[in-house]
Structures are given as structure tokens and as C-alpha cells.
């Protein structure tokens, strides 16, 4: 009994241990499954990250990727996408080679374990049954022996008693013999049962149970080997993608090494190169003369050494006029306002003086501030009002500096040539199709393609006209670029003629039928023109001479373009008398001049100066 109990305990221990082994296996499967989920999540996040920073199509970001640094960044994004793909490969391989295989193996292992312990319990039950049979046979043999002994004793007692009849003695004798025979039969049965049990017990402990234990051991060892192989596969799956991940990292390094700071700098230079020539040195200006100071011409005026003195419109701004607007255009902005002057105020009180023309939105800025705006603003030719109304830039890109304009025109010519080539290819294909239809009328009507051929011919002709137009502008620009110094001197005349209509359209586009100018007027005049030799024009246009003096009778706040503010009692110089429009042009000093209402000043003309 103690042996059976000990054996049963061993089965219980093995059952618990093998169940623990299966639990370990399932725990490892869960671990790998969570690892695959992490890999997939990581790959998804990497892909989203790469997609987030990819340049958007048809956006400004696409233009930025012409630089080597941004191209290197784009290559990094693409490699990170491939890098994410390798983590997806890790997840897929771990799922198929580890979790999938181990899950099937666990199911098989559970079935095998169940079968082994079922055989063990069956063998245990069989030996217990044999033991019980042996015990029953033994008890029956013992009982029969005792019964036979009692029957023998009773017979001997009856045989010795003289008072007992002979028949009773015979009956007792027969009963004793019967019991003795039963004891002999029980003895034989017990002996047979004992031999059988010993044989079964030997087989149980030396064959059946060891075999079952051996199978359980092999099963457990296979489980250990399998989980070890899975762990090795776990590492191999990672190791297999290391070369590819290394290539991704190598490509990122290669992209980083491909950055060329010199090339990027050159691209920036090419992108923003205007083609303007820098100004020359500014000559010394002598202010020691009393009224009309002789001003040395700057290098921008292309001094010819004739010693001609030239009163300046603005001493601080003349040297800055070179890249933006010609002097005669700037002076034209100060022409007489196209509106009647305001009447004199009823009193000399400044508060009673009307502003006359409609006040602009903002106060008039000094001319030097305007030039600062010129320096920081983008080139403008077409007026701002037309742009606000939705108008596109000029077709000839005349709003751009020469170098940028040349690039845009060249790009347009290339695009038109590509379109022409496409139309020619279509025309050639239709021509071949028409020839086939003529040779084989059953394949189609040759006249059906004539209309399309005519359309293509018209399109090609229109495109060629466009090409000629843009090539003409391109030739004009290339003939004016600063690098072509032999043709640079002709630029100013060409450019002036080209932009006269644009300036006039701006003036007409203003809300000024009554002469009321808004602030947009000043903005519209901020035009940059290519750097040319402005000296000829500057030399040909002399500022107006002083023809007299005047005294301000009233305070006038000249807040509109072309006017000048004066204070009551102030003495100023007259440079242009009233021509019947009610305005007189005056000059305060070399930096300030403009129009005031004639009724606001008392004019003293210098007849000699006027006659001169």
C-alpha cells in the first residue's frame, strides 16, 4: 500500500511539473506575441513619422528639396520607411516561426501529456485490481482452512463419543472431508492468483510504469528543446534584418555625406540673383556755398568732369535711386495735383485751415523711408491695386529682376517647346493613322482625322508664336544683363519704353478722377528696375532753378503726394509759378519741395532768374 501511495505521489508530482512546463511555454508565446505587436506599432509610428515630414506635392516644400541638405533629409525619410519595413519583417517572421509554431506545438503537447497520464492511471488501476483479487483469494483460502480444521475436530469428537450413533459419526466424517476439499481448492486458487499478481506487479514496476515515465521525460525534454530553439529563432529573426538595417543606416550616412554647402549656397545665389550692379562711391558734397550749393556728382551720375553744378532734389536719396527708379519718373510723381487747391482759411488759425485734398490713410513718409522700403521690398512694376483685384503678374515677367526674369522666360520657352513637341508627336501619329486608313479603308475613315489634324496644326502655330514672343523677351533680357557690359548701356531706354504702359496703367487704376490719391499711390511707385547706366538720364535732366521767393500767408498741411507742408510766415523758394491750376511749386531746401495752393503764399519773383 505504501508503494502504491508513493507511486501515486510521483504521478502527481510529474503532472504538476509538466503542467508548469506548458505554462512556461504559453508564457513565452505571449511574450513573443507582445514583442511582435511592439514591432508593428514601432514600424507604424516610423512610417507615419516619415510620411509626416515628406514634402507635399505641388507645394513650396517641393522646391526646397533641390538643396543637398534637404535632399539628404528626404533620403533619410525614405530610409526610415525601409527601416520600418524591416521591423514589420521581424514581426511577421516571429509570428509565423515562433508564435504560430509554438501554439500548434502546445496543443500537441497537451494531448500527448494527457495520453501519458491516462496510461499511467490505467496501469495503476490495473495493479490495484490485481492486488484486490489476490487479497480476496487469500482471505477465502484462510477461511476454508479454518472451516476444515473445525470440521475435523468435530468429527474426532463425535467418533470418540460412545453415545453417538454410527450415522452421526459418518455424517461428521463426510462433513470434515468436504471442508478439507474446499480448503485444498482455495489453496490452489490462492496460489494461482498470487503467481498472476506477482507477474503483473513485476510488469507494472519494471515495464509499464518505466515506459510511461520515459515517455513523459521525453515529452518534457522535447518541450525544453523546442523552447530553446524558439529562443534561438527569436534572435535569428532579429539578426537576419541587421544587414538590411545596416544598409539603411549606411544610406543615411551616405546621404549626410552628400550634402554640399558650396552647392547649396550657389543655388541660393542663383535663385535670388537680381542682376543689379552695385552703386559707385558718393562724392563729397560741399555745403559751404550760401544758397545754391554746388554738389559733386556721384559716380552714379557718370561724372564727365565738366564741372557742372547740379542742385539736388534730395541729397540723401539721390545715391540710392540707382536700382529702383529713374529720376525723371520720381520727379513726375511731384507734379501738380490734379484737383483745385483749397480756399484760404477764414483765419490764420491752424485749426481752421482745411487740408484741401482728401487726406491719405497715413501721413506722408520722408523720402528716405520710401527708399528703405524700396531696398527691402520685392520688385514691383504693376500697380498694387490691380494685384489686389486678383490680377496676375505680367506675362513677360517684367516685375522680376533681370536674372530672375531671364530664368522665368527660359523656363517658359522650354515648356512651350515641350508642348510643341507633344503636339507634333500627336500630329505624326494621326498622319500615320490616316495613311493606314487610306490604304485600308475597311479599318476606318481617313477623313475622320482631318479635323483633329487641323486643330493640331493650329495649336502648333499658336505655340510657335508664343515661343517667338517669349524668345524675343528673352533675347531682350539677355542683351541687358549686367554681365554683358557692351549692351548694358542700352538697357535703360528699352526698359523705360517697356514699363511706361505699366506705370500709366497704375496711375489710371488709382481712385483719382478728382485727384484724390490714396496711400496705394506711394506703394505703386515702388518699382525696381534692373541696374543700368543711369548716368545719361541723370545728366540730361537738371532740377528746376529757383525763380523767386515766397512767404506763407497761412499754414498748409500738405498730406497728399506732391504737396509740401508750410507754416504761416515761413519763407521759401519758388521753382515753378502758378500755371493756372491754382498751385505753385516751392522748395524749402535741397531735400524738400512740392506744391502749395497759390492763395496760401505771397510770391516774389526774381525777374533775372525767371528770364534766365
pLDDT value of position 245: 93
* Higher-pLDDT residue of 451, 511: 451
Asked whether 564 and 596 are in contact (CB, 8 A), the reply is yes
Q: Which long-range contacts (CB under 8 A, 24 or more apart) does 444-448 make?
A: none
With cut-offs at 50, 70 and 90, classify the pLDDT of residue 107. Answer: very high
Instruction: Transcribe 131-179 into DSSP letters.
Output: HHHHHHHHHHHHHHHHHHHHHHHHHHHHHH-TTS-HHHHHHHHHHHHHH
Distance between CA atoms of 540 and 562, rounded to whole angstroms? 22
> CA quadruple 58, 59, 60, 62: dihedral positive or negative?
negative
Lowest-confidence region among 165-174, 289-298, 474-483: 289-298
Q: Give the bridge partners for 601, in sequence order.
A: 552
Q: Scan for cell 481448492, then name that residue.
A: 185
pTM, full prediction: 0.48
pLDDT value of position 160: 84
Distance between CA atoms of 355 and 563, rounded to whole angstroms? 11
Tell me the CA distances in angstroms from 557 to 353, 356, 364, 419, 600, one per residue in order. 8, 9, 11, 59, 11
Distance between CA atoms of 150 and 179, rounded to whole angstroms? 9
Residues whose CB is less than 8 angstroms from the CB of residue 514 and which lie 6 or more positions away in sequence, other chains included: 338, 339
Backbone angles phi, psi at 573, to 5 degrees: -100, 140
Whole-number percent of the chain with pLDDT over 90 = 31
For 60-69, how does the pLDDT look when each residue is reduced to its tens digit (9 = 90+)?
A: 766 777 889 9
For 311-346, how does the pLDDT look when each residue is reduced to its tens digit (9 = 90+)?
A: 343 433 333 334 444 444 444 444 556 566 777 765
Lowest-confidence region among 88-97, 217-226, 248-257, 357-366: 357-366
For 217-262, how does the pLDDT look when each residue is reduced to its tens digit (9 = 90+)?
A: 999 999 999 999 999 999 999 999 999 999 999 999 999 999 999 9
Nearest CA to 593 out of 551, 542, 558 is that of: 558
Asked whether 509 and 385 are in contact (CB, 8 A), the reply is yes
Q: Scan for cell 483633329, then name that residue.
A: 452
Amino acid at each position: 500500500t505504501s508503494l502504491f501511495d508513493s507511486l501515486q505521489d510521483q504521478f502527481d508530482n510529474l503532472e504538476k511539473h509538466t503542467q508548469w512546463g506548458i505554462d512556461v511555454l504559453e508564457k513565452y508565446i505571449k511574450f513573443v506575441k507582445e514583442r511582435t505587436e511592439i514591432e508593428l506599432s514601432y514600424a507604424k509610428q516610423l512610417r507615419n513619422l516619415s510620411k509626416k515630414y515628406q514634402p507635399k506635392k505641388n507645394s513650396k516644400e517641393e522646391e526646397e528639396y533641390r538643396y543637398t541638405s534637404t535632399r539628404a533629409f528626404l533620403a533619410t525619410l525614405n530610409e526610415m520607411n525601409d527601416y520600418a519595413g524591416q521591423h514589420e519583417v521581424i514581426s511577421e517572421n516571429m509570428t509565423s516561426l515562433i508564435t504560430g509554431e509554438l501554439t500548434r506545438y502546445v496543443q500537441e503537447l497537451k494531448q500527448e501529456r494527457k495520453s501519458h497520464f491516462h496510461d499511467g492511471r490505467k496501469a495503476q488501476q490495473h495493479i490495484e485490481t490485481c492486488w484486490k483479487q489476490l487479497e480476496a483469494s487469500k482471505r477465502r483460502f484462510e477461511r476454508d482452512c479454518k472451516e476444515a480444521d473445525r470440521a475435523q475436530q468435530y468429527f474426532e469428537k463425535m467418533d470418540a463419543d460412545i453415545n453417538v450413533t454410527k450415522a452421526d459419526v459418518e455424517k461428521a466424517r463426510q462433513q470434515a472431508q468436504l471442508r478439507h476439499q474446499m480448503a485444498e481448492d482455495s489453496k490452489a486458487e490462492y496460489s494461482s492468483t498470487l503467481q498472476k499478481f506477482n507477474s503483473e506487479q513485476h510488469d507494472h514496476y519494471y515495464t509499464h510504469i518505466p515506459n510511461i515515465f520515459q515517455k513523459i521525460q521525453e515529452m518534457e525534454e522535447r518541450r525544453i528543446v523546442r523552447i530553446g530553439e524558439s529562443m534561438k529563432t527569436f534572435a535569428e529573426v532579429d539578426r537576419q534584418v541587421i544587414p538590411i538595417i545596416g544598409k539603411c543606416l549606411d544610406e543615411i550616412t551616405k546621404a549626410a555625406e552628400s550634402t554640399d554647402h558650396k552647392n547649396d549656397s550657389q543655388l541660393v545665389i542663383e535663385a535670388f540673383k537680381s542682376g543689379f550692379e552695385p552703386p559707385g562711391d558718393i562724392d563729397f558734397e560741399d555745403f559751404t556755398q550760401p544758397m545754391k550749393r554746388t554738389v559733386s556728382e556721384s559716380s552714379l551720375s557718370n561724372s564727365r568732369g565738366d564741372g557742372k553744378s547740379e542742385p539736388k532734389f534730395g541729397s540723401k536719396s539721390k545715391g540710392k535711386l540707382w536700382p529702383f527708379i529713374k529720376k525723371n519718373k520720381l520727379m513726375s510723381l511731384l507734379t501738380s495735383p490734379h484737383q483745385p487747391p483749397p480756399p484760404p482759411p477764414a483765419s490764420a488759425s491752424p485749426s481752421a485751415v482745411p487740408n484741401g485734398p482728401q487726406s491719405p490713410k497715413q501721413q506722408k513718409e520722408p523720402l528716405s523711408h520710401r527708399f528703405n522700403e524700396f531696398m527691402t521690398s520685392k520688385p514691383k512694376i504693376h500697380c498694387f491695386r490691380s494685384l489686389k483685384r486678383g490680377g496676375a503678374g505680367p506675362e513677360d515677367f517684367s516685375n522680376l529682376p533681370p536674372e530672375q526674369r531671364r530664368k522665368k522666360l527660359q523656363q517658359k520657352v522650354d515648356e512651350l517647346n515641350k508642348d510643341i513637341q507633344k503636339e507634333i508627336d500627336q500630329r505624326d501619329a494621326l498622319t500615320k493613322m490616316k495613311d493606314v486608313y487610306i490604304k485600308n479603308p475597311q479599318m476606318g475613315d481617313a477623313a475622320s482625322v482631318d479635323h483633329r489634324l487641323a486643330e493640331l496644326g493650329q495649336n502648333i502655330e499658336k505655340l510657335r508664336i508664343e515661343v517667338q514672343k517669349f524668345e524675343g523677351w528673352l533675347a531682350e533680357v539677355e542683351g541687358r544683363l549686367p554681365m554683358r557690359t557692351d549692351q548694358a548701356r542700352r538697357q535703360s531706354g528699352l526698359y523705360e519704353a517697356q514699363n511706361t504702359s505699366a506705370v500709366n496703367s497704375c496711375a489710371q487704376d488709382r481712385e483719382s478722377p478728382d485727384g484724390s490719391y490714396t496711400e496705394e499711390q506711394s506703394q505703386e511707385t515702388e518699382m525696381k528696375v534692373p541696374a543700368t547706366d543711369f548716368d545719361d538720364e541723370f545728366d540730361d535732366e537738371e532740377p528746376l532753378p529757383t525763380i523767386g521767393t515766397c512767404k506763407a500767408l497761412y499754414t498748409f498741411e500738405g498730406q497728399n503726394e506732391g504737396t509740401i507742408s508750410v507754416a504761416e510766415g515761413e519763407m521759401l523758394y519758388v521753382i515753378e509759378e502758378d500755371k493756372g491750376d491754382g498751385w505753385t511749386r516751392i522748395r524749402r531746401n535741397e531735400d524738400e519741395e512740392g506744391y502749395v495752393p497759390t492763395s496760401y503764399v505771397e510770391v516774389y519773383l526774381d525777374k533775372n532768374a525767371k528770364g534766365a
